[in-house]
Amino acid sequence: MHKVLLTNAQLRKTLAVVRSLGKKGIQTIVVEETRFSPTAFSKYCTKSLVCQNASENPEHFYNFIKSKIQEYGCDVFFPMDEDTVAVAMKHKKELEKLCSVPLPSNESYETTSDKGKAYKHAMSVGVDIPKTVFPNGAYKLHEITALLKYPLMVKPVKSNGGRGIKIVSSKEDLVKTYLEVHKHYPYPVIQEHLGEGEVYDVVLLYNSFNELRASFVQRHVRKYPLVTGPSTVQESVVYPEMLELALKYMEGLKWYGIADLEFMVQRETGEIKFIELNCKFWNSLQMGIYAGVDFPWLLYKIVVDGDVEPVAQYKAGIMCRNLFPGDILHFVFNKDRKSMNPPFWSGKGNRFRDDIISKDDPMPVVGFLAACMRYVFDIKMWKFLLRR
């Protein structure tokens, strides 16, 4: 029987993959720094392993993963978040001698994992981005940002989930804010703040021949933190113009696996702007599965069988949320909570689904609560989870 090794068992997207593959009889082995996680408690999880966080000790993590792939005879390795993807990309050649690792070429990864390079690629293929400058430090910062309109965003080139982003409201605060971000995230870019608008994800799946095999678009309905955070509620939509822009962005990239492109539609102008690309399953992966595009299964079939029939049709208007803890926190901190649309108390009758809560597989809720107890005093972990 085929076995898949997955990382980052704390994340809801890892739970979505385990449920998808487990329902089809695939054995799933997950890795996290604790056994207390939603995914480890799923009835579809075959085994849970404990290892130090990849971001804290990448080489130890790689050696652990390598040994477990060999020990359990895993056929496929799915690194699930940027820290584990970075480890997998660094050791891709070695890992591919042991199992299949569906990730893009090193060149394409380097182009898109660095937001500065990703924006430059967008410009080269004619995809609009927010007005952006690329400082080499704080020297002449006011001069190179002279044509940008405030407020500005100082944005790390290596981060995810809105982490590290700072908003600058005035010229007087620019250098100070830039240096604050630069200290933790070297050489951030500076962009005009797009203001209010709707954020969308365009998710694409490519086979090993760099051919498109699935596509899906979702709209961010709510998010937490309220301004710069990831979505807590999403809706499946059909948006041909945005899909076309995403495909245009992918021109020239030798892609294999998942590509998650984020765009914003400016409320004032209606213009579509590229925000970022991630080469991993996105946080609200369960949304796509509910809508009818089973990305984990499709990717697995591509890896094992070589290819799948293209999938482009899905149900529009389906909504999914991350109740624990994202949408609860949105409700608590949203001053307009009474006018939330859809309402906080919506259920399946409103075409509403949840990332974690499931009658078929209820124990991940217990796993989430156990993780809360495990990390109750760990501020660093809570900051991480709230960005997921």
> What CATH number is given for 3-101 in this structure?
3.40.50.20
Q: Is the model more confident about 76 or about 159?
A: 76
Terminus-to-terminus CA distance in the chain, angstroms?
A: 32
Residue 167 pLDDT level (bands cut at 50, 70, 90): very high
Residue 348 pLDDT level (bands cut at 50, 70, 90): low
Tokens of 58: 């990448």
Tens digits of per-residue pLDDT, 256-273?
Answer: 999 999 999 999 899 999
Q: Which of 158, 81, 178 is nearest to 114 (CA)?
A: 158
Q: Which of 329, 233, 333, 246 is nearest to 283 (CA)?
A: 233
Residue 372 one-letter amino acid = C
Query: Cα–Cα distances in Å, from 68 out to 8, 17, 72, 244, 364?
Result: 15, 19, 6, 41, 24
Report pTM.
0.93
Tokens of 54: 């990849």
DSSP-based three-state secondary structure for 36:
coil
Q: Quick one: the chain helix, strand, coil %, rounded to 5?
A: 35, 20, 40
For residue 386, pLDDT over 90 is answered with no
Tokens of 89: 């990309």
Quickly tell me which residue has 């999938």 as its tokens: 311
Domain chopping of the chain, boundaries: 3-101, 131-192, 197-357
* Mean pLDDT along residues 154-174: 89
Tens digits of per-residue pLDDT, 224-260?
Answer: 877 767 889 999 999 999 999 999 999 989 999 999 9
* Mean pLDDT along residues 111-137: 96
For residue 37, pLDDT over 80 is answered with yes
Other CB atoms within 10 Å distance of the CB of residue 332: 10
Q: Check residue 323 and give its pLDDT.
A: 87
In angstroms, the CA 332 to CA 54 distance is 32
Q: Check residue 125 and give its pLDDT.
A: 97
Q: Check residue 10 and give its pLDDT.
A: 95
* Mean pLDDT along residues 341-367: 84
Tens digits of per-residue pLDDT, 308-335?
Answer: 999 999 999 999 999 888 777 777 887 7
* Mean pLDDT along residues 34-40: 96
Architecture of domain 131-192: 2-Layer Sandwich (3.30)
3-state secondary structure 222-258: EECCCCCCCEEEEEEECCHHHHHHHHHHCCCCCCCEE
* Mean pLDDT along residues 47-75: 97
231 bridge partner residues: 223
In angstroms, the CA 196 to CA 160 distance is 20
> What CATH number is given for 197-357 in this structure?
3.30.470.20
- Counts for the chain of helices (H) and strands (E), in that order: 14, 15
Q: How distant is the alpha carbon of residue 137 from its chain centre?
A: 28
